[in-house]
């Protein structure tokens, strides 16, 4: 069975990866909550911080909007828009400023034609197909002993893993850009910068966890395929 929870690959690979992902999610939530109570000396809101990060790099054509939810912040390259959550947009906390600056870092990547971001955007269509069809194709292939269908499913799932792998340098680079500008511009003091780094570092770990889960699943699919043969 494809989803047998007692096979060794599930227990030795997938379960530890899932625990890592869960721990990373908990860490980012707890870090954001902790530093949401620490307000910046300059009392900049998240929206103001994002605007200043953009301006410091000479980027002026990016919109900044509010989006509902918590930690739903993101940069949308299709509309060239930074969307900040309710807990970030008008908050003056160190956590909010760090998250907003990170999203502005993605906007700078887009404006500067940062290669990994361009590659990630280019494979999104294949990734969307892979995330929806890969597991069903592998399952059908295993049930009806169709090696070709299994291989197609595994290949499609590999595009998901590739997307998450490319996401890592994109996320780490955006955080580095954010911290550098927050430091050089004086938006955060030297005492406040470590807190922002902790929030962004915790957020980055969620992408590491997601990659670990997908990579473990890919190895498991390959092993199941070979075992069936």
Considering 103, 171, 191, 192, which one is annotated as catalytic?
A: 103
Do residues 142 and 90 touch, judged by C-beta distance below 8 A?
no
Burial label for 4, CB within 10 Å (0-12, 13-18, 19+), is exposed
- Sign for the pseudo-dihedral over CA of 106, 111, 114, 116: positive
Q: Residues 68-73: contacts with CB within 8 Å, 24+ apart?
A: 71/28, 71/29, 71/32, 71/99, 73/99, 73/100, 73/102, 73/103
Q: Is 103 a catalytic residue?
A: yes
Where are the extended beta strands (E) located within the chain? 63-67, 74-76, 81-85
Retrieve residue 153's tokens.
């499913």
Do residues 109 and 117 touch, judged by C-beta distance below 8 A?
yes
Question: 52: how many CB neighbours lie within 10 A of its CB?
Answer: 20
Contacts of 136 (CB under 8 A, 6+ apart): 153
Query: Which residues are marked as active site?
Result: 103
């Amino acid at each position: 069975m494809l989803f047998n929870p007692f096979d060794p690959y599930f227990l030795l690979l997938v379960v530890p990866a899932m625990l890592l992902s869960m721990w990373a999610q908990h860490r980012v939530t707890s870090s954001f909550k902790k530093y949401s109570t620490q307000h910046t000396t300059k009392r900049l809101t998240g929206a103001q911080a994002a605007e200043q990060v953009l301006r410091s790099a000479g980027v002026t054509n990016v919109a900044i909007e509010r989006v509902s939810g918590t930690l739903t912040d993101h940069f949308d390259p299709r509309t060239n828009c930074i969307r900040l959550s309710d807990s970030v947009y008008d908050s003056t906390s160190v956590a909010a400023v760090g998250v907003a600056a990170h999203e502005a870092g993605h906007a700078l990547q887009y404006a500067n034609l940062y290669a990994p971001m361009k590659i990630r955007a280019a494979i999104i269509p294949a990734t969307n197909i892979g995330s929806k069809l890969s597991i069903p194709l592998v399952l059908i292939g295993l049930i009806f002993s169709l090696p070709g269908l299994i291989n197609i499913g595994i290949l499609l799932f590999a595009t998901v893993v590739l997307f998450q792998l490319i996401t890592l340098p994109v996320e780490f680079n955006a955080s580095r850009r954010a911290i550098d500008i927050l430091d050089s511009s004086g938006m955060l003091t030297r005492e406040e910068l470590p807190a922002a780094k902790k929030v962004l570092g915790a957020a980055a770990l969620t992408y590491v966890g997601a990659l670990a889960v997908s990579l473990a699943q890919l190895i498991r699919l390959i092993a199941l395929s070979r075992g069936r043969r």
